[in-house]
Structure 1
Amino acid sequence: MTDNWTVTLPCTRREAEALGQDWEFLSALDPVPTIVGEEVVAFDDNSWRIVAYFDRKPSKQAVAALQSQISGGHEAEIIVEKLPEEDWLVMSQQGLAPVHAGRFFVHSAEFDSAAPTGAVPFIIPASQAFGTGGHETTSGCLAMLDQLKRQGRRYGHIADIGTGTGLLAFAAQHLWHSAYVTASDIDPVSIDVTARNAAINNLALGQGKGRISLCAAMGTDHEMIQRRAPYDLVIANILAGPLIELAPSFAEIIRRNGSLILAGLLDVQADNVLRQYRRHGFSLIRRRDEGDWPCLHLIKRRRYGWRRPLRPARGTSQPPGDYGTW
C-alpha cells in the first residue's frame, strides 16, 4: 500500500526556481521529495507555489526545512496532506501516459504495448516537471508540426528554443529530415537530457544537415543560435512571460515569411502574447486549443529584424528545468 504525501507552500517565482534546482538541499531531506513549481497567477512572479511530493509522511523537520527556503515561509499557509492512492496514481501516470498527436506517438520506456499502426514513436523517459504546461502543450505542438508538413511546407533551418527533453526538435527533424535543426534551453541539465534522449531514439547530433545541434542559452543569446539564423521555423513551448520577452529576439532571427510556433501559454494569456508579436511583424495563421492551452502558428509578414540594426533583449527569464510533462 502506497503512502504518498504532498506539502504545498506559496512562494515567489525566484524561490520556486532556486528550490527546484537545489539538489544538495533536497537530497538531504528524508524522504527526498520531488519538487514541482507552479505559476498561480499569470504574469505575477510573486504568486507561485511549490508542491513537494513525498513517498511517505514527511517529518516535521522536513516540512520546516522547506519552509526555511521561502521568505516568510513559517508564517505562510502551508498544506500537508496525504494523497488517496488513486489520486497519486493518476498524478504519477500523467508523466507516463502516451501522447498520440498527428503522426507521433510519444511514450516512456515503461510502455510495453505496440504503437498505433503507422505512427512515428519516440521514447521520452518521464522527467521531473517544473513549471506550467503538460500533455496539452506537447500534443498541440506535435499536431501543429504534423499539419504544417501535410500542408507541404518546407523548412531548411529550424530552431527549438526551450527544448526541454528535445521532443519537438526530434519531431521537426523527422518531418524535415534534411534540415539544420538547433535545440537550446536555458538549463544545461536539459541539454544533457536531450542528448540522452536523442541517443535513445537513434537521432544524430551535430552541425550538419539532418542533425540536431544543442546549446545551453538564455533565449536566443548564444553565438550558435545567432550564427545559424535566419530560421524558416522557430518553435517555443515555454511560458507566456518569456514568450513576450523574446518577441523582438524571434523577430530578429526568423526570415521573412518564416513560421513561429508558440505554446506553453494559457488561453487567457494568448491575447497579450499575440499583441506583442503583432508589434514585431507577426500575423496569426492558426490557433489550435488543447483544453486551456493554445498552440499558435504565426508568420513573419514584413521584413523586420533580420539584417536590420536592432538591439533586442535576447535573454529570457524562463525558469531553468521547465520540462513540462515530457
Structure 2
Amino acid sequence: MVTRAFATLGVGDQYETITERMIATLDVLVDEGEPILSAYRPEQDGPWLIDVMFVERDAEGRARWLAEARELLPDLPEFEEDPVAERDWVAESQKALHPIHAGRFVVFGSHDRARMLPTRWRIEIDAGRAFGTAHHASTRGCLIALERLAKRQPLTTVADVGTGTGVLAIAADRLGARSVAAGDIDPVSVEVARRNVAANRTQRPVPVVVRAGPFASAETVIANILARPLIAMANELALATGRTLILSGLRTAHVRPVKAAYRARGLVVTDQIIIEDWATLTLRRPLR
C-alpha cells in the first residue's frame, strides 16, 4: 500500500516558487528515491500542495521522515496522511506540471502537447516514476551545460549515465550528436526513457540499457546523479570520458569534494552553473 502525506499551502501563482524551494529543501531527506516528492495544484485556481509519496517506509519511518521535514521547514503546514491504492501517483501529479525552459529547450508533458509550437528544441517527457522532467534545477543545469558545450564544439559520441527519463540523451540528439546512448540502474526508468525516446522521434537510434554506472566510453559523458555516487564513481567516469564530462545532482556545498575527486583523475572544471543551490559542472581533459 502506498501512503501519501500532503501539506496544503496558499492560493496564488506566488506559491509556485515557494513550493519549488520547499521541495528543493526536502530533497536532502530523500534516500534512494524514497519518498517521492512533488509540488502542484490540482485545480488552476486551487491551493498549491506538497505531496510526499511513501512506497517502502512503515508508519514509524514515515513519522520520523515527516518530523525531520518539519525541522527543516518549521513554517510548513501540518501534513495530512492518506493511504492510497496502487496507482502511479507521480504521473498523476506531473500532469499539473507546466512547461520548463532551459536554454533553447522547452520540456513539457504530453498533456501540453497540443499547445506547444513545433520546433526542434521541444522535448516531450512523461516521467512516470523516473527522474528528469527538467523541473529540478540539476536537470535544467545539465540541459544548459550541454547546449553551451555544443556551441563550442560539435558533439560526437555522448553517454548519459543515470538517464532517468532520457531527457538529456534526447537533448544531445537534438543538438546534433553523432551517436547517443543512455543507461540507468533502474529498469522502470529504462522503460520510461525508451518510451520518451520513441515519442520524441530522435534523429538517430538512442539505445537505453539497464546498467549501473558508466556503461560505455564516449567523447562526452553526462552523469546527473548525486554527490556521493559521483565521488565514488570518479575513477570509472573519468576512464569512460574521452574529452568532456558533465556532472550534476550535487548541491553547492558538495562542489569542492566533487571537484577534488575529478581533479585527481586529470579533469579540470571549465564551466559551472548554479541554479537554486544545485550545481552543474563541466569538466574537460586537457589536450596533451
Partners of 1:142 and 1:171 in 2: how far apart? 7
Q: CA RMSD in A?
A: 3.6
Q: Does 1:40 align with 2:41?
A: no
CA deviations on 1:217-271 (whole Å, 9 max, x unpaired) are 1102x4xx2xxx3x2100011111111111100111112xx01100111111111
1:126 Cα deviation from its structure 2 partner = 3.9
What secondary structure, in the 3-state scheme, does the structure 2 residue paired with 1:191 have? helix
Cα distance between partner residues in 1 of 2:160 and 2:62 = 40
- For residues 217 and 74 of structure 1, do their structure 2 counterparts lie closer, same or farther at Cα, with a shift above 3 Å needed? closer
Q: Which moved more, 1:111-120 or 1:277-286?
A: 111-120
Q: Is the 8 A contact 1:95 1:126 kept in 2?
A: no
- Equivalent residue pairs, number: 232
Corresponding position of 1:181: 180
Judging by fraction of residues, say which structure has more helix. Answer: 2
- The residue correspondences of 1:1-326 to structure 2 (distance < 5 A) are 6=5, 38-40=27-29, 50=35, 66-67=57-58, 73=61, 76=64, 81-82=79-80, 92=93, 96-111=97-112, 114-115=115-116, 120-128=121-129, 134-151=135-152, 153-177=153-177, 179-203=178-202, 210-220=204-214, 222=215, 225=216, 229=217, 231-255=218-242, 258-301=243-286
Which digits, 9 at most, give the CA deviation of each residue in 1:44-96, with x for residues without a partner? x79x974689x9xxxxxxx9x9426xxx649847567239xxxxxxx946972
Q: Which runs of 5+ in 2 are unaligned?
A: 8-25, 43-53, 68-77, 82-91
Counterpart of 1:39 in 2: which secondary structure?
Answer: helix
CA–CA distance in 2 between the matches of 1:77 and 1:249? 33
The DSSP-based 3-state class of the residue aligned with 1:234 is strand
1:38 touches 1:49 (CA, 8 Å); kept in 2?
Answer: no
Q: CA-to-partner distance for each residue in 1:173-198, whole Å, 9 max, x for gaps?
A: 11124x12110001111111111111
**Does the C-alpha gap of structure 1 residues 50 and 214 become closer, same or farther in structure 2, counting only changes over 3 Å?**
closer
- Which of 1 and 2 has higher RCO (CA within 8 Å, sep 6+)? 1
**Matches of 2:127 and 2:256, distance apart in 1:** 32
Is contact 1:38-1:130 (8 Å) kept? Answer: no
In 2, Cα distance between the equivalents of 1:302 and 1:94? 46
Per-residue deviation at 1:117?
Answer: 8.1
Helix, strand or coil: the match of 1:264?
A: strand
* Cα separation, 2, equivalents of 1:150 and 1:130: 26
1:291 Cα deviation after fit? 1.3
Extract unaligned runs of 5+ from structure 1. 9-36, 56-62, 84-90, 205-209, 304-326
- Percent sequence identity is 33
Alpha-carbon spacing, 1:49–1:251, altered in 2? closer, same or farther (3 Å)? closer
TM-score, length-scaled by structure 1? 0.61
- Determine the C-alpha separation between the residues in 2 that align with 1:50 and 1:238: 16
Specify whether residues 273 and 66 from structure 1 end up closer, same or farther in structure 2 by C-alpha distance, changes over 3 A only.
Answer: closer
